[in-house]
Amino acid sequence: MAKPNVISKGDLIKSAKACLVDKGIEKFTLRAVAEAAGVTQGTVYYHFKTKEQLLLDIVQDVCESSWSEISRQNHPYITSQALASAESRCSYDSFFHKLFFTVAASSLHNEKIRSQLGEVLSTENHALTANLANLWSHSPIEGVSLETWGFFFNAMVDGLALQALLQKDFPVEKTYKEMAQLFQGLSDLINKEDE
């Protein structure tokens, strides 16, 4: 029996995440979300007009949760925590990145979702730039701003995720270990200049 139509958007997003894990992206529908949440389909449509909008809200929720968790960490651990979080979601069966790239592909034909997904990426870029500004007194390479470094690191994480989704044998652990070494090398350049 369906619950009364009193359910929060956040609770629907939680149910939608569970539904995606259970049914997969191919069988994910607003009707399936309603069934998983124990509410009417109309309740889901009240909060989310389209499946793509719900997918976007899920991606935004995951991103915000991830950045919130990273931001709570103490200063020296921000980078290692961020890399560990990104590596944990980088796999051939990554739920998060399948979702992210599905929404990204859908957004190419839907300007509203495209704009909202752009805002999610912008928030990630700003968070990365702020974290870098806390760790680095200046850019390790003259002419490359901290903002651009934030864009680079975000693009690397998404690019690595795409490669891992498409290649079962993609060397995730090795690649992230070397990405951490790259970051450390850039940090060492700054420390030498500051001495």
Q: State which residues form the domain around 139.
A: 51-194
Q: Are residues 115 and 42 in the same domain?
A: no
On whether both 157 and 145 belong to a single domain, the answer is: yes
**Do 63 and 12 sit in the same domain of this protein?**
no
Do 107 and 13 belong to one domain? no
Whether residues 14 and 67 fall in one domain: no
| SS3 state of residue 135 | helix
Same domain, 15 and 99: no
The number of distinct structural domains making up the chain is 2
| Per-residue pLDDT tens digits for 37-55 | 999 999 999 999 888 889 8
Q: Find the range with the poorest average confidence among 87-101, 102-116, 142-156.
A: 102-116
Query: CA nearest 183: which of 145, 135, 143, 147?
Result: 135
Q: Which of the two residues, 169 and 23, has the higher pLDDT score? A: 169
- Three-point CA angle 123, 125, 130, nearest 5°: 95
Q: Is pLDDT of 13 > 90?
A: yes
CATH of the domain at 161: 1.10.357.10
Q: What is the pLDDT of residue 195?
A: 76
The pLDDT tens digits of the residues spanning 128-181 come to 898 889 889 999 999 999 999 999 999 999 999 999 999 999 999 999 999 999
72 and 146 belong to one structural domain: yes
Would you state the structure tokens that stand for residue 64, as one six-digit string? 């915000």
pLDDT value for 1: 46
36 and 103 fall within a common domain: no
Task: Check which CATH number belongs to the domain holding 45 and give it.
Answer: 1.10.10
Claim to verify: residue 97 and residue 145 sit in the same structural domain: yes
21 and 68 fall within a common domain: no
CB atoms within 10 A of CB 27: 10
Answer yes or no: are the C-beta atoms of 12 and 48 closer than 8 Å: yes
Contact of 165 with 136, CB cutoff 8 Å = no
